[in-house]
Amino acid sequence: MQRLKGIGVSPGIVSGRAVILIQRAQVLRYRIATSRIEHELQRLDDSRAVSREQLLDIRARVAQRRPELASLFDAQLLMLDDPMLVPHATDIVREQHVNAEWAVQQVFDGFSAVFDEVADPYLRERKGDVADLVGRLRMNLRQGVAMPRDLLREVDEASVLIADELTPSLAAQVDWTKVRGFATDAGSRTYHTAILARSLDVPAIVGLHDASQHVQPGDLVVLDGSASELIIDPGPEDLARAAHSEDYCPGVDAEAQRHLPATTADGVRIRLEANIEFPDDLAAARYAGAEGIGLYRSEFLLAGSSLGANEPDGAPEEERQYEIYRSMLEGMAPSAVTVRTFDVDEDQLASRLAQHPLAGGWFTEEERASRQGLRGLRLSLTRPELFQVQLRALLRAARHGNLRIMFPFVSSVEQVRHARAMIAEARAELARRGEDVPPVPVGIMIEIPAAAYTADLLAREVDFFTIGTNDLIQYCLAVDRADERVSWLYEPLHPAILRIIVMVSRAARRRRIPVSLCGEMASDPALLTLLVGLGLTEFSMTPGAIPVAKEVLAELRSDELRMLARRILRLPTIEEIERELLSVVSKSLMTRSHL
Ligand code: PEP
Ligand code: MG
């Protein structure tokens, strides 16, 4: 038995067989039953045959135009038959009972290490050829199996996913009825995927460093999100605890609380809405008693998008999005649904839309060496066709409910004006088609310090603000929220964060526009009480956090919270702030909030 400690980000305890996903290499590693080994080897063989045909075909085309380059492909064809490549991978499948993709990757890693040692630059360059060939083999292995979701379907039993990292787009494709929980090497508490785990109600641990190397596919593991522990080869006691996990109780009588509106002990109404990633989460939001959807992260729509290269005009995509938005609005009516337009960066867009013309042209790898800049609204403004499709679908859907459109990652008034002009353009196009659409409130996320510092100016341009503390904290404190080496510096109670929140909410109030807060901070009951003290009355959070928030707020008076906030705003250190917060909010709450 071995116990690995990480950061528990979603509570609950489950057991299952480990499935390993190495996302950086896009390779899933799982155990193959003896009866399926021949099938696996057949896949490997088929992949080699298809790769050979493709290489011969490319070679013939290249030879016509650039005969001197054709020999490059001769080298790859020779490698395809090298006993160190496919036959070696075959041995790995047979001996280790692992899937073919993983075996091919193992072979490549072995080659890679050897090439790195070679002094001769010509020979070192050959590593690129091997990488190219291995990439081709893996691509062809995926044919008919396609995505990790499908690969996970091949896994026979209930499993626990162990990954180096798990991006939200991949997490969105996992069949969570099969995968009971997950653990990742990377990450922190506000890691997007951790947020997702909480909204899916899947136990999860992040920040385990090297669990994906340590755990072998098929190992029996117990994942205890509440105790932040992954147990490899568990004993009967841990297995029994996991078997009784259905008895897990979050500590509040959610049933009784969930249909009552949230109020403080002295009767101040607090509006609690839900953050969701999938249209299917609407049920969870309604069940939790959410008063609306405060944040729908629409970029999840792009994962698994049906966009095909033969749909250049975007018409089927507009229809697909329209239907999804419409069903959400109808499902939530008369409550509001705030749809945030796509918040992806270029790499994410590339991985989701592949070669589709709507995705626009790509910058080269070097040009986009920095991954910070082109994201959210900024990216949408550089992809007008894609953006127009989304805006038209949204405006059409607005007829069926209470829609609000929100732009992410805004840093200037110019961007807001540009985006509003794009909405006007979408509206004009719909009018040309004879479609009349109602007015829709337009708001922005305040999640970049520049936006916070110009909140008074931005407030004149929009109908509402939503403070996104997940990003605001990372950009304000210069801490990458997914980097575990600095994640301990990611601190919502930093005096700078509290001040910036006060500044934004004052700017909104002066202009009489609504302001809510939708970062993970709001899901933490202790921090929520402080935010109420700072003057905020609207929040959007993971649906599962809503019942707890209601219970906690009902116990506290708003005037006491305001005084608490006033005292806290004068304190210079996080430690003192935390101590002061604990004087009002019980220790048990604080502990529970940090899982
Ligand atoms: C935020 O930044 O606080 C936010 C809610 O957006 P996301 O976590 O999706 O970036
Ligand atoms: Mg954000």
* Domain architecture of the chain: domains with CATH: 2-28+155-250 (3.50.30.10), 31-141 (1.10.274.10), 262-593 (3.20.20.60)
Among the residue ranges 162-166, 573-577, 584-588, the one predicted with the least confidence is 584-588
Taking only the tens place, the pLDDT of each residue in 45-81 is 999 998 898 888 777 766 776 676 677 778 888 889 8
> Which residue's C-alpha comes closest to atom 6 of ligand 1?
468
Give the strand pairing for 220-224 and 204-206.
Answer: unpaired
- What tokens does 286 get? 């309604």
The CA 4 to ligand 2 mean position distance, Å, reads 30
Q: Averaged over 396-416, what is the pLDDT? A: 98
Q: Buried b / exposed e across 56-91, counting CB within 10 Å, b at 16+?
A: eeebeebeeeeeeebeebeebeebbeeeebbebbbe
Among the residue ranges 154-168, 228-242, 531-545, the one predicted with the least confidence is 154-168
| Amino acid (one-letter) located at 202 | V
* Ligand closest to the CA atom of residue 520: 1
Atom of ligand 1 nearest to the CA of 472: 2
* Ligand closest to the CA atom of residue 517: 1
What pLDDT does 340 receive? 98
Atom of ligand 1 nearest to the CA of 468: 3
What pLDDT does 501 receive? 98
Report the DSSP beta bridge partners of residue 20: 29, 162
CA 66 to chain centre: 44
> Which residue's C-alpha comes closest to atom 8 of ligand 1?
470
What pLDDT does 485 receive? 77
Band the pLDDT of 263: cuts 50, 70, 90.
very high
Candidate of 192, 371, 470 to mutate for ligand 1, largest count of ligand atoms within 8 Å of Cβ: 470
| Amino acid (one-letter) located at 489 | L
Q: Averaged over 123-150, what is the pLDDT? A: 69
Among the residue ranges 21-25, 75-79, 82-86, 178-182, the one predicted with the least confidence is 21-25
Spatial separation of the C-alpha atoms in residues 419 and 413, rounded to whole Å: 10
- What tokens does 503 get? 């500044």
User: In the predicted model, is pLDDT for residue 579 greater than 50?
Assistant: yes
DSSP strand E in 261-312: where? Answer: 262-263, 269-276, 293-297
User: In the predicted model, is pLDDT for residue 433 greater than 60?
Assistant: yes
C-alpha dist (Å) from residue 444 to 28, 246, 512: 38, 40, 15
Most confident range (mean pLDDT) of 346-350, 385-389, 485-489 is: 385-389
**What is the sign, positive or negative, of the torsion defined by CA atoms of 375, 376, 379, 383?**
positive
Report yes or no: 355 and 309 within 8 Å, Cβ to Cβ. Answer: yes
Report yes or no: 44 and 93 within 8 Å, Cβ to Cβ. Answer: yes
* Ligand closest to the CA atom of residue 299: 1
What pLDDT does 86 receive? 92
The CA 114 to ligand 2 mean position distance, Å, reads 42
Q: Averaged over 207-224, what is the pLDDT? A: 91
Atom of ligand 1 nearest to the CA of 275: 5
Most confident range (mean pLDDT) of 99-103, 480-484, 552-556, 565-569 is: 565-569
Taking only the tens place, the pLDDT of each residue in 81-126 is 888 899 999 999 999 888 898 899 888 888 878 877 777 766 666 7
- My answer on whether omega of the bond before 334 falls inside 30° of 0, hence cis, is yes
Q: Is pLDDT larger for residue 260 or for residue 332? A: 332
What pLDDT does 306 receive? 47
User: In the predicted model, is pLDDT for residue 150 greater than 60?
Assistant: no
Give the chain's end-to-end CA distance (angstroms, integer). Answer: 24
Band the pLDDT of 582: cuts 50, 70, 90.
confident
Other C-beta atoms lying within 10 Å of the C-beta of residue 1: 9
The CA 354 to ligand 1 mean position distance, Å, reads 24
Scanning the structure block, which residue is given the tokens 């592949």? 354
DSSP assignment, residue 556? S
Q: Averaged over 209-235, what is the pLDDT? A: 92
DSSP assignment, residue 345? B
Atom of ligand 1 nearest to the CA of 408: 6
CA 253 to chain centre: 29
CA–CA–CA angle 36, 39, 41 (5° rounding): 110
Q: Is pLDDT larger for residue 595 or for residue 408? A: 408
Catalytic residue numbers, as ranges: 192, 518
The CA 469 to ligand 1 mean position distance, Å, reads 7
CA–CA–CA angle 57, 63, 67 (5° rounding): 155
User: In the predicted model, is pLDDT for residue 260 greater than 70?
Assistant: yes
- The residues lining ligand 1, judged by C-beta closer than 6 Å to any ligand atom, are 295, 297, 343, 447, 468-471, 518-519
What pLDDT does 252 receive? 45
Report yes or no: 393 and 421 within 8 Å, Cβ to Cβ. Answer: no
What pLDDT does 114 receive? 81
What pLDDT does 294 receive? 98
pTM as predicted: 0.64
Average pLDDT along the chain = 84
What pLDDT does 286 receive? 86
> Which residue's C-alpha comes closest to atom 9 of ligand 1?
297
> Which residue's C-alpha comes closest to atom 4 of ligand 1?
468
What pLDDT does 592 receive? 36
What pLDDT does 588 receive? 43
Residues 6+ apart with CB under 8 A from 419: 377, 380, 381, 407, 410, 442
Taking only the tens place, the pLDDT of each residue in 463-472 is 999 999 999 9
Band the pLDDT of 146: cuts 50, 70, 90.
very low
Share of the chain above pLDDT 90, in %: 48
The CA 379 to ligand 2 mean position distance, Å, reads 14
What pLDDT does 591 receive? 36
Most confident range (mean pLDDT) of 8-12, 257-261, 487-491, 527-531 is: 527-531
Spatial separation of the C-alpha atoms in residues 565 and 549, rounded to whole Å: 18
Q: Is pLDDT larger for residue 8 or for residue 348? A: 8
Q: Is pLDDT larger for residue 391 or for residue 192? A: 391
* Ligand closest to the CA atom of residue 295: 1
Q: Averaged over 408-434, what is the pLDDT? A: 98
User: In the predicted model, is pLDDT for residue 173 greater than 60?
Assistant: no
Q: Averaged over 140-153, what is the pLDDT? A: 58
Report yes or no: 165 and 484 within 8 Å, Cβ to Cβ. Answer: no
Atom of ligand 1 nearest to the CA of 295: 5
Share of the chain above pLDDT 70, in %: 80
